[in-house]
Amino acid sequence: MRETEKMKLAVVGVTGLVGQEIVKVLEERNVRIDQFIPVASERSVGTEVSFNNTGYKVVGLESAISMAPDIAIFSAGGSVSLEYAPAFAKKGCVVIDNSSAWRMNPDHKLIVPEINGSILGPDDKIIANPNCSTIQMVLALAPLHNAFRLKRIVVSTYQSVTGTGKAAVDQLFAERSGSETVDRVYPYAIDMNVLPHIDVFMNNGYTKEEMKMINETHKILHDDSIAITATAVRLPVMGGHSESVNAEFHDEFDLKRIYDILSEAEGITVLDNPGENQYPMPLHAKGKDDVFVGRIRRDDSHPNTLNMWIVADNLRKGAATNAVQIAETLISKGLVR
């Protein structure tokens, strides 16, 4: 895009939890936008959202397409993306999609900018944003994979209700308040409970969320040889997702080198001092863009194997921030008109 041209950016699904976070991240990171286009479903058209202390009327998808934005960040679900992302792209817009619709499509790139943002090119008109739980795990593992070559990953997730959306948050707080009328998103109560069930169950006994982590990690790291198994669990918490990761490497490693690599990695904060009870928690991650890593230790039961505890705000780096960083990468590389 030439400096004399105006940057038009649309946020599709602007009224949702992730959409609202995208707006906040765009403001905080001072992304240059000359024309902001808030987009949502028909029931929200005409309502007003604020961006950089200015009110903007929400428009519908067809109106947004006619406005020909340079970049459209989608957070409106897979069906909306499958139907409308190609229409935006046909107008010359670059779509950054938060749903799972395009992630495993071989014709579209799955991007975590710190890891593989360099592969973006002028032909990329629909770019997939990975699953939130995948992003935080691969951000911590990618630099270690480069150094020691990952062989196997065993991950268990402890995921916030915010990953399901506003209705799940409402269910949690309705149950917590003792309300007799609860609109249930989950098959059971979530307050004072733990659900080993995120997304639908597949024929292999894994959930779709677990398979996303496996397949997306292979694609982002560009290495299908890594053995991966996952268990995804929903907890009644806010602020972010937590993960227990057991990573086996082909090569021997030194723990000090592990600390050094993670401490120097972009987007990672090492928080690991058990003697002072310092370790990552959703309380630390909420509202922050970094991925926090702690409880770093050898797995003494198996050679060349490491345990880590990884926490990140799923609405920030797990969704909104990563999408905005992709937009920033496109702008910096001159890939938007």
Q: Are residues 249 and 192 in the same domain?
A: yes
Q: Are residues 143 and 285 in the same domain?
A: yes
d(CA 244, CA 263): 19
In sequence order, what are the beta bridge partners of 118?
none
Strand (E) or helix (H) holding 293: strand 291-298
> pLDDT-derived band of residue 2, with 50, 70 and 90 as boundaries?
very low
CATH of the domain at 195: 3.30.360.10
* Three-class SS state of 100: coil
Q: What integer is the mean pLDDT of 150-156?
A: 98
Q: What integer is the mean pLDDT of 217-221?
A: 98
- Answer whether residue 246 shows pLDDT above 70: yes
What letter would DSSP give residue 181?
Answer: -
Is 93 marked active-site?
Answer: no
What is the pTM for the complete model shown?
Answer: 0.95
Of the candidates 31, 51, 29, the one whose C-alpha atom is nearest the C-alpha of residue 39 is 51
> pLDDT-derived band of residue 170, with 50, 70 and 90 as boundaries?
very high
CATH of the domain at 82: 3.40.50.720
Q: CB–CB of 226/150 below 8 Å?
A: yes
> pLDDT-derived band of residue 49, with 50, 70 and 90 as boundaries?
very high
Q: Which residue has the higher pLDDT, 271 or 2?
A: 271
Condensed to tens digits (0 to 9), the pLDDT of residues 113-140 reads 999 999 999 999 999 999 999 999 999 9
- Answer whether residue 3 shows pLDDT above 50: no
Q: Residue 44 domain-assigned?
A: yes
Q: Indicate which residue of 93, 108, 145, 241 is catalytic.
A: 241
At 180 the pLDDT is: 85
At 99 the pLDDT is: 96
Side chain identity at residue 129, one-letter code: N
Dihedral (Cα; 327, 51, 316, 28), 10-degree rounding: 80
Q: Are residues 120 and 174 in the same domain?
A: no
Q: Are residues 149 and 116 in the same domain?
A: no
Q: Which residue has the higher pLDDT, 181 or 55?
A: 55
Q: Look at the chain and report how many structural domains it folds into.
A: 2
* Three-class SS state of 136: helix
Q: Are residues 73 and 198 in the same domain?
A: no
Residue 113 contacts by C-beta under 8 Å, 6 or more apart in sequence? 322, 325, 326, 328, 329
Q: CB–CB of 7/1 below 8 Å?
A: yes
DSSP for 210-255, please give it.
HHHHHHHHHHHHT-TTSEEEEEEEE-S--S-EEEEEEEEESS---H
Strand (E) or helix (H) holding 269: strand 268-270
- Answer whether residue 110 shows pLDDT above 50: yes
Q: Residue 337 domain-assigned?
A: no
Condensed to tens digits (0 to 9), the pLDDT of residues 267-287 reads 999 999 999 999 999 998 999
Q: Are residues 111 and 139 in the same domain?
A: no
Q: Are residues 41 and 72 in the same domain?
A: yes
- For residue 190, the enclosing domain spans 133-314
* Three-class SS state of 174: helix
Q: Are residues 75 and 116 in the same domain?
A: yes
Q: Indicate which residue of 93, 132, 145, 284 is catalytic.
A: 132
Q: What integer is the mean pLDDT of 332-337?
A: 89
* Widest pairwise Cα distance in the chain: 61
Q: Are residues 69 and 214 in the same domain?
A: no
d(CA 212, CA 216): 6
Q: Residue 261 domain-assigned?
A: yes
Q: Are residues 114 and 151 in the same domain?
A: no
Q: Residue 2 domain-assigned?
A: no
- Answer whether residue 68 shows pLDDT above 80: yes
Q: What integer is the mean pLDDT of 17-22?
A: 96
Q: CB–CB of 187/197 below 8 Å?
A: yes
- Answer whether residue 4 shows pLDDT above 60: no
Q: Residue 78 domain-assigned?
A: yes
Strand (E) or helix (H) holding 307: strand 305-312
Q: Residue 1 domain-assigned?
A: no
- Answer whether residue 165 shows pLDDT above 50: yes
- Answer whether residue 5 shows pLDDT above 80: no
Q: Are residues 328 and 217 in the same domain?
A: no
> pLDDT-derived band of residue 6, with 50, 70 and 90 as boundaries?
confident
The torsion angles phi and psi of 114, rounded to 5 degrees, stand at -65, -25
Q: Residue 265 domain-assigned?
A: yes
Number of H helices, E strands in the chain: 10, 13
Q: Residue 262 domain-assigned?
A: yes
Of the candidates 86, 111, 59, the one whose C-alpha atom is nearest the C-alpha of residue 221 is 111
Q: Are residues 260 and 116 in the same domain?
A: no
- Write down the mean pLDDT value for the chain: 96
At 202 the pLDDT is: 98
Written as six digits, the tokens of 165 are 């959306």
